[in-house]
Every structure is written in C-alpha cells, then in structure tokens.
Amino acid sequence: MELTNASRSHRTADAASLASIGVLDERSFIRRLSVLDWLFAVALATGAGFALARYHAFMNYYDTLVLIGTVPALVTLGWRWKPSRLLMAGIAGLAVLSINIYQGDLSRADSNFFLRYFLSSQSAILWMSALFVFGTVFYWIGTLSRSPSGGSIGSKLTWFAVLMGFTGLMVRWYESYLIGADVGHIPISNLYEVFVLFSLITALLYLFYEQHYATRALGAFVMLVISAAVGFLMWYSIARDAQQIQPLVPALQSWWMKIHVPANFIGYGSFALSAMVGVAYLVKERGVLADRLPALEVLDDVMYKSIAVGFAFFTVATILGALWAAQAWGGYWSWDPKETWSLIVWLNYAAWLHMRLMKGLRGGVAAWWALTGLVVTTFAFLGVNMFLSGLHSYGKL
C-alpha cells in the first residue's frame, strides 16, 4: 500500500491543490477582466431580468432568489472558463427559439418541422444521446489510432451533445407549463430527467478538465460511463414511456428541489468521472495504452480534484436535503434507504480524502477505491430505486 512517510511531503501540495478549487485573489482577477467579460455579465443579467419579468407570475419568492443567485454563479463560470460562454449563449438562443415556435401551443411539437426533429425536448434529448455515443466512438478512435483528429471530433460532438441536452431540459421546463400551470416544474424530478442531468454534468466536468490539462486522452474512458447512462435512458424511455411529463408529487413541490438536486448530481458526476479516471490510471499502470494516456501524476491529480469537488457539492446537497426533509416530512433525518445510502457514499469519499490528505493515499489503491466508490454511488443513485422502498424515489424501474 502506497502510504509511506515520504508521502507526507505531498500534503502541502494537496492542500494547495484543494484550495485552488476555491476563490483566488479576486482583486487581481477583477482587474484582469476585459470589456468582453463585462459585456457577458451584463448580457447574462439582462437575460435573467427578462426571464423574471416574463415569468414572475409562475415564480414565488424562493424561485426568484434561486434565479438571482444563479446569475453571479454563471457569470463567474463564464469568466473563469471561457468556452462555457458560447455554450450558455447557444442554450439560451435555442431555448428562446423553441419557445417562440411553440407560441403557447404544445401540439406544434408534432406539426412544426424544427420542433419535431430538433427542438422539442424529446428530440433535443435524443440528439444529445446520439451525439454522446458518437463522441465516445471518436474519442476511442483517437486514442487507439493516436489520431488527434479523432479526439478533436469526439470533443466537438460532446460539446454539441451538452448543448442539445441542456436545450432539451430548458424546453421540457417550458413544455411542462404548456400542459398546465399546476404541472409545470423544473425538469429534475424523476429518473428520466436526472439521468439526462447526470450525463450533462459529467460531460461538462470532463470538458473542463480536458481543457485544463490539455489532453483528450481521458475522453475515451469518461465517455463510457456517460454512454452507459444514455443506454439506460433509452431503455427506460422505451420500456416505461418515461419521457412523458408527469405532475410533481406533493413532496417535490418545493423550491428546495431546484438547489438540492443539481448540487447532488454535481457530486455524482464528479464521483463518476473520478472512477473512470481511476480506470485509466489502472490501465496505464499495467502498461496498456501507456504511451497514449497522460502521466500517472496527472491522472492522480484529476482523480483527486474530481473527488474533492464532488465531495464538497455532495456535502452541501446532503445538508440541503436534510433541511428539505424537515420541511416536507417534519424531521431532518429518518434513515430512509436513500438517506442511509447517501450517508454511506459521503463516508466513503470522506475516508478517501482523509487518507489522501493525512496518509498520502495515492496510486493503484486510490484508483481502486475510486472505482469501488462508483459502485457504491450507483447503488445509492439507482439501486435504491430497484431493490428498496422509501420516501425518496426518482422513478420506479
């Protein structure tokens, strides 16, 4: 086991790496912002203001706070990760175009060419699914053939998949209100919707690391878990007609859902990404594709940062979930199966990070642990719905 006294020298580097996830010197950063950066912020704030003015009748006080709080978060993301700006603009543009084509009539989804084949929620999510699968294929072509163009095509397909997926979710949100004001809700309430969300968040996290580390070699591995999620999504849609928009159950009719679920799935996506990077680590460690994958130190760093980010968001989501439970069911914790397994997931990654920071956990042991964590997380995410019953459920299988 790679837990030696010499590894203690890495603690300071780990602490600095973890701190780098947070806020840097904002004063120097603000001074570096260009006119284009500020125009982006103004455009985003203007769009939020337009949404608030147009749809305030459907929003309560808490919804308004969530919308307002989202603006600085997205502005910061756009400032620190420039490619996300074009993505945000594309999602907004396609969503607004779809809304204008609908003209308040849901039946146009079957009669209008662009809605039927591209911009309705179901069509956009189908495009997302196909593009993710093709992206996975091209990433593998690029890795196996040492072809930069293969990885480049895979990356572009993944970006377009994320664009179509988020457009599909935004349009689905609008479609739910076209069905009825009492039906309308943010599309993160059942198993179908959260599988879409999981795929998108995992892909976005990967694309960030792809640019940050200037390598597309990990795409072949990370995209496998996304393609698996897409495969489940397609089966679930066909077998259970799960793509249909359903009214919210009473317990989910809460503004807490808008912040608890996204935070939870940023955690899930980060944990899934770390596991697939762990697979890449184990493959390279055994000499397979060794000359095509990043250095073991890079793989180890990506795995660590992914778990650190995921753990932070999962911790926040767990706290928010407890507050939501107190409002919905009268108690912060009831040892419901979903709550119990969420605690197991949290303890698993808390132990991983503790061993990393205190004992210098690295190498194959860390990679195997991250991969085992994906099994635990998958059961908490999906297995609870399959084998256990309780208050929490995103949908029955």
Q: Which residue has the tokens 């706070």?
A: 65
Global pTM?
0.90
389 pLDDT tier (thresholds 50, 70, 90): low
Q: Which residue has the tokens 């979903």?
A: 338
Q: CB under 8 Å to 280, separation ≥6 — which residues? A: 217, 218, 221, 293, 299
Amino acid identity, position 115: L
Nearest to 185 by CA among 197, 174, 195, 196: 174
Domain boundaries, the chain: 249-397
Q: Please tell me whether residue 1 adopts helix, strand or coil conformation.
A: coil
Give 22's DSSP letter.
Answer: S
pLDDT tens digits, residue range 271-307? 999 999 999 999 999 999 999 999 999 999 999 999 9
Q: Which helix (H) or strand (E) covers residue 83, if one does?
A: helix 83-102
pLDDT tens digits, residue range 324-372? 888 877 888 888 888 899 999 999 999 999 999 999 999 999 999 999 9
Q: Give the angle subtended at the CA of 95 by the CAs of 94 and 98, to the nearest 5°.
A: 85
Question: In the numeric block, which tokens belong to residue 34?
Answer: 């260009």
> Cα dist. 191→130, 197, 339 in Å?
19, 10, 17
Q: What are phi and psi of 46, to 5 degrees?
A: -65, -45
Q: Please tell me whether residue 265 adopts helix, strand or coil conformation.
A: helix
The span from the CA of 307 to the CA of 136, in Å, is 23
Asked whether residue 154 carries a pLDDT value surpassing 70, the answer given is: yes
Amino acid identity, position 243: Q
